[in-house]
A and B are shown apart, each in its own frame.
Chain A
Amino acid sequence: MLDRLNFPQPGLSLTLFVIWQILSEGVSGGSIVLGLILAWLIPQLTHGFWPERPAVVKIWRMPIYVMRVLKDIVVASCSVAWLILSLRTPRPAFINYPLKLEHPLAISILASTISLTPGTVSADISDDNKTLLIHALDAASDQEVIDAIHNRYEKPLMEMFQ
């Protein structure tokens, strides 16, 4: 029993603890106790789902990437809004995106980015983690979408997870 009283992912535990203090109104004895319980319990329960940590993560590149994604979300939202309001019929497409990223964490960040930026939703990943199925709302050509995703999102992620 005692050997389970550890924190397998200190970073995750610390994040959970801090988030709980922010969410509960004001730090008190109760919020600290409950925060500690959650910081211990949640990593224990989710431990099996986490991929192995990548060897090198250049975390300082993350803010630049997040800013770029936020800007793209706003710009592309406007174009999707325009598409919805104009009476033009969209040209939807399923696109097989060839992945160059290898680490599962990097791939899931890329897939989430694709879903967050308007106009594309990542639908599935092949069993060998080599191909991502993307549904695009309005694609002029497959190659255009693939190039855009590769240059804007996959390249920075590859630099981050090398």
Chain B
Amino acid sequence: MNPFAEYAISALLLFGGAFTLVGAIGLARLPDFYTRLHGPTKATTVGVGAIMLSSVIYFSASGESIDISEILITVFLLMTAPVSANMLAKAAMHIGVKTVDNTEGHPWEQ
């Protein structure tokens, strides 16, 4: 395989892995439910995006045809991540999950 492709794949895998790790750390470190919601939604968008790109480069560089189905996976993730984040936030407001003390503003009554 082309060495440039190998460097690009390694860099993208490290980048994606690092972001997924930071998302997981955020899940553990952030103070309340609503702030924790931000960690995983971000890790999916950038982390999975980078890992998907490296997969596309790998299969293209190793001689097989360019596979679009990986790009579709990312597109579906990008379409569904906001919906699940929205449903989680709505459900949390519905059962009245407590917010951390220094939060400005208030959730709505459901």
B-binding residues in A (CB < 8 A): 19, 22-23, 73-74, 77, 80-81, 84-85, 89-96, 111-116, 118-119, 121-124, 126, 133, 135, 137, 139, 142
Known: A115-B41, A121-B38, A135-B89. A81 touches B22 (CB 8 A): yes
Q: A residues within 8 A CB of B8?
A: none
Closest Cβ of chain B: how far from A66's Cβ, in Å?
A: 10
Closest Cβ of chain A: how far from B64's Cβ, in Å?
A: 12
A93 and B25 form a contact (CB under 8 A): no
**Complex-state Cα separation, A137 to B49, whole angstroms:** 22
A74 and B46 form a contact (CB under 8 A): yes
B1 at interface by CB-CB < 8 Å: no
Q: A residues within 8 A CB of B107?
A: 94, 123, 133
Which of chain B's residues has its CB closest to A25's CB? B69
Which of chain A's residues has its CB closest to B38's CB? A137
| One of B31, B83, B90 near A123 (C-beta < 8 A) | B90
B55 at interface by CB-CB < 8 Å: no
B14 at interface by CB-CB < 8 Å: no
Q: B residues within 8 A CB of A80?
A: 26, 38, 42
Q: B residues within 8 A CB of A95?
A: 105
B35 at interface by CB-CB < 8 Å: yes
Known: A77-B46, A92-B102, A133-B107. A116 touches B82 (CB 8 A): yes
Q: B residues within 8 A CB of A90?
A: 30-31, 35
Which of chain A's residues has its CB closest to B33's CB? A135
B39 and A84 form a contact (CB under 8 A): yes
User: What would 17 more interface pairs be, CB under 8 Å, given A115-B86, A122-B86?
Assistant: A22-B68, A22-B69, A22-B72, A23-B72, A81-B19, A84-B29, A89-B102, A90-B31, A92-B32, A93-B103, A113-B82, A116-B81, A118-B46, A123-B89, A124-B108, A135-B89, A142-B105
Which of chain A's residues has its CB closest to B42's CB? A118
Within 8 A of A (CB), among B76-96: 78-79, 81-83, 85-86, 89-90, 93
Which of chain A's residues has its CB closest to B76's CB? A19
**Complex-state Cα separation, A92 to B83, whole angstroms:** 21
Closest Cβ of chain A: how far from B24's Cβ, in Å?
A: 10
Closest Cβ of chain A: how far from B23's Cβ, in Å?
A: 8
